Structure 1
Amino acid sequence: MGNSVLEVNISRDYVYNSSAMIRRDFAFTAPVLALLIAVMVVLIGVIVLGNALVIFAFKMDRSLRRQSNYFLLNLAISDFLVGAFCIPVYLPYILTGKWMLGRGLCKLWLVMDYLLCTASVFNIVLISYDRFLSVTRAVSYRARQGMTRCALAKMATVWILAFLLYGPAILLWEQVTGESHVPDDECFAEFFYTWYFLLCASTLEFFFPLLSVAFFNLSIYRSIRDRRLRHRQEMGSPKFQAPAASTKRERLRLASYICHNSFLLKKKKPSEEADKSSELCSTEPVVGRNDSVAVRSSQCTRLIQDKKIAKSLAVIVCVFAVCWAPYTLLMIIRAACRGQCVSHHWYEVTFWLLWLNSAINPFLYPLCHSSFRRAFAKILCPKQRSTQAPSDHQSNTPR
């Protein structure tokens, strides 16, 4: 009994000493304080406006309401709430070093912050998995695009799992242990210095999602590489070296196809890789069957789209790792050494990287989709859209 009391007192001393160090670290000079306020206000504006635009576009444009875009909507909702609730509530705390909003709002803020950040990560995994299926199982994936109920079930699962990871621990840790280690003017989770819990939770929140997203990206890359190799082998096969289209209609289709794809590839892919794709596409139609031009055109277009998906997923892996790895590693180290070996300023920088990820996501995900870009253009430039429509109609009208 005496040993347990001694351990509790030592643990409590660690927490209160760490809190005193945090208060000293929070003493900002006036210029630094003004800079922090400006940066935080800008970050809040970018997160709220960027994700609100995604939500509004999804609501206004019915063409966006496909299964894959529902997951982007789910991500935008979690990131929007980060900017609309979590950061504004945290601002007075970081600027003054004291929590002045009461213990009840502290618990609510902790639950929401952990929930929203974790939901954002799980949504990224869900989006990556969805893109993995769209490339590796294209036929069955397209058949499920209209299944809205299935998409909503997956979205709800993300929120449930995100809450179960940290929510019960935040709400019940104090009741289970029988005491609280958090000072009255501080606000952090009771497990803040419990390294073994944080290690287990971080495995589910960061390490497993990172490995999953990396696996999906690698699988997509291998699928595209194998398809390109098979495609080149088929094009070099003697059975595909039949004479070119002999009839006038077939020659017109062939010429139209080559010109159209060459124009699109030069416009969208100015790199050397684009030239290779253009060359590949332009040689595809030289086959014997009448419908082979359309088939090869579809295959080539699909291959180019899948390559874009692979590149966007590679960016996702890098951004996710940069924003989450420093915080996760520093959180575990800080808990293991009871806050004595890591400066609070460094921990605070890595903490804000998580929220920075919520500002990057609306540009990283929806802007990679042409359908979302068109919807954004309609919302942000309605007059320009309306003036272009009559001119386009007149130009296409036969004289």
Structure 2
Amino acid sequence: MILGAFCIPLYIPYILTGKWPFGRGLCKLWLVVDYLMCTASVFNIVLISYDRFLSVTKAVSYRINPGMTSKAIAMMVAIWVFAFLLYGPAIIIWEYVVGCSIVPDKKCYAEFIYNWHLLLGSSIFEFFTPLILVAYFNIQIFRSIQNRLTTIPQELSESPKSKSQVRRLWCLLKEDASFSDSETEKSCSTSGSQRHLSTSDRPRPSHLYSHTSETDPMGSFKVKTSRKLQRDKKIAKSLAIIVCIFVICWAPYSLLIIIFAACDGNCIKPYLYEISFWLLWLNSSVNPFLYPLCHVKFRNAFRKILCPYKRAESSPRPSVSF
């Protein structure tokens, strides 16, 4: 939103005329905001992927973790501070450190645009490291989902079905943090690696078999599990889409800017640089829509933030979020 409201409107007349008409002060502000927004966008993708990684692979400890809100706020603040420190000070004081400015009048770009050492180092922090982390987190999420896709059907195919087996299946399903039964979370977390529960720790049948019939609880449980596994497949696909779009939008610029600086801008066509530059902004534009489309929880969070009054007026229906 900030890119669309501030950065792009100032850049359009600059790219059309080839001249920056707004002065050096606004130029530096524009550069700081532009670099900050794009870098923070990448770091937030990493943080979201890390959060999803914990919620899927360590669901029980994730959901009962005390102080989760304060830790989340601290991580978000740290991301914005680090994103500013990566480029902000260099944009502001570079010309004073080196003793002169290389940016001509009526032009607006960073003073270090031809310093490929700095650009290579910043690209490692801004693109290559986030790419490795995002890929790792999402691969682990995908592997966890695939493990349940193979383990749970095998558990369901066995007979006879005892309550302990049902409880084991329930704990396996709990690994994706899609359910919110606190009593089940406590019992699963105390069961150890075996995930076996004592009789005294078992919750009431109504906690186990919501929307199930008394005559065939396992049949209803199979239907519910099958639906859950299908949703897991969709989540895995959505994660792959998110990673691919991130790579498509960031890889061209990260590679071109290093080559651009190494050859003093003589070996890269200007239109190629402009295309890669706009891809960065496209990624920041797509992400706020991409995540809610791929995840119900993000969609509900956006509704809660953007439509608080509408949410308060409507009576919420009990539902399970996948």
TM-score range, shorter chain: 0.7 to 0.9
TM-score by length of 2: 0.73
Offset of 1:88 from its aligned partner?
Answer: 1.2
Determine the structure 1 residue equivalent to 2:69.
148
- Residues 145 and 350 of structure 1, relative CA distance in 2, 3 Å threshold: farther
Determine the structure 2 residue equivalent to 1:365.
291
- Residues 254 and 199 of structure 1, relative CA distance in 2, 3 Å threshold: closer
Alpha-carbon distance between aligned partners in 2 of 1:364 and 1:145, rounded to the nearest angstrom: 30
1:222-250 CA-to-partner distances (Å, cap 9, x unmatched) read: 111222322233234455389xxxxxxx9
The SS at the match of 1:285 is: helix
1:311-360 CA-to-partner distances (Å, cap 9, x unmatched) read: 22111101101111111111111111111111111101110111111221
Alpha-carbon distance between aligned partners in 2 of 1:341 and 1:378, rounded to the nearest angstrom: 46
1:145-173 CA-to-partner distances (Å, cap 9, x unmatched) read: 87322221111011011011111111121
Determine the structure 2 residue equivalent to 1:325.
251
Q: Is the 8 A contact 1:234 1:240 kept in 2?
A: no
The SS at the match of 1:365 is: helix
Q: Is the 8 A contact 1:125 1:213 kept in 2?
A: yes
- Residues 142 and 298 of structure 1, relative CA distance in 2, 3 Å threshold: farther
Count matched residues.
Answer: 267
The reply on whether 1:344 has 2:265 as its aligned counterpart is no
> Of 115, 120, 128, which aligns to 1:207?
128
Determine the structure 1 residue equivalent to 2:46.
125
Q: Is the 8 A contact 1:132 1:219 kept in 2?
A: yes
- Looking at CA atoms only, which structure, 1 or 2, has the larger radius of gyration? 1
- Residues 305 and 255 of structure 1, relative CA distance in 2, 3 Å threshold: closer
Task: Give the RMSD, CA atoms, in angstroms.
Answer: 3.3
> Of 8, 21, 44, which aligns to 1:100?
21
Question: After alignment, is 86-95 or 225-234 more displaced?
Answer: 225-234
Alpha-carbon distance between aligned partners in 1 of 2:42 and 2:35, rounded to the nearest angstrom: 11
Alpha-carbon distance between aligned partners in 1 of 2:4 and 2:139, rounded to the nearest angstrom: 32
Offset of 1:185 from its aligned partner?
Answer: 1.4
The reply on whether 1:86 has 2:43 as its aligned counterpart is no
Offset of 1:93 from its aligned partner?
Answer: 0.9
Q: Is the 8 A contact 1:132 1:216 kept in 2?
A: yes
Offset of 1:208 from its aligned partner?
Answer: 0.9
Determine the structure 1 residue equivalent to 2:218.
285
Alpha-carbon distance between aligned partners in 2 of 1:131 and 1:378, rounded to the nearest angstrom: 20
Give, as a single letter, the amino acid of the residue that structure 2 aligns with 1:324.
W
Give, as a single letter, the amino acid of the residue that structure 2 aligns with 1:207.
F
Q: Is the 8 A contact 2:260 2:266 kept in 1?
A: yes
Alpha-carbon distance between aligned partners in 1 of 2:209 and 2:139, rounded to the nearest angstrom: 35
Offset of 1:102 from its aligned partner?
Answer: 1.1
Q: Is the 8 A contact 2:209 2:217 kept in 1?
A: no
Between Structure 1 and Structure 2, which shows a larger proportion of helix residues?
Answer: 1
Offset of 1:124 from its aligned partner?
Answer: 0.7
Alpha-carbon distance between aligned partners in 1 of 2:100 and 2:42, rounded to the nearest angstrom: 31
Determine the structure 2 residue equivalent to 1:69.
none
Q: Is the 8 A contact 1:284 1:297 kept in 2?
A: no
Give, as a single letter, the amino acid of the residue that structure 2 aligns with 1:187.
C
The SS at the match of 1:179 is: coil
Offset of 1:309 from its aligned partner?
Answer: 3.1
- Residues 100 and 319 of structure 1, relative CA distance in 2, 3 Å threshold: same
Alpha-carbon distance between aligned partners in 1 of 2:42 and 2:209, rounded to the nearest angstrom: 46
Alpha-carbon distance between aligned partners in 1 of 2:121 and 2:306, rounded to the nearest angstrom: 44
The SS at the match of 1:189 is: coil
Alpha-carbon distance between aligned partners in 2 of 1:344 and 1:284, rounded to the nearest angstrom: 65
Alpha-carbon distance between aligned partners in 1 of 2:160 and 2:290, rounded to the nearest angstrom: 43
Offset of 1:378 from its aligned partner?
Answer: 12
Offset of 1:220 from its aligned partner?
Answer: 0.9
- Residues 88 and 306 of structure 1, relative CA distance in 2, 3 Å threshold: same
- Residues 117 and 104 of structure 1, relative CA distance in 2, 3 Å threshold: same
1:19-52 CA-to-partner distances (Å, cap 9, x unmatched) read: xxxxxxxxxxxxxxxxxxxxxxxxxxxxxxxxxx
State how 1:265-304 maps to structure 2 within 5 Å.
285=218, 303-304=229-230
- Residues 367 and 255 of structure 1, relative CA distance in 2, 3 Å threshold: closer
Q: Is the 8 A contact 2:235 2:295 kept in 1?
A: no
State how 1:1-399 maps to structure 2 within 5 Å.
80-144=1-65, 147-240=68-161, 257=212, 285=218, 303-370=229-296, 373=299, 376=303
Alpha-carbon distance between aligned partners in 1 of 2:279 and 2:305, rounded to the nearest angstrom: 32
The SS at the match of 1:114 is: helix
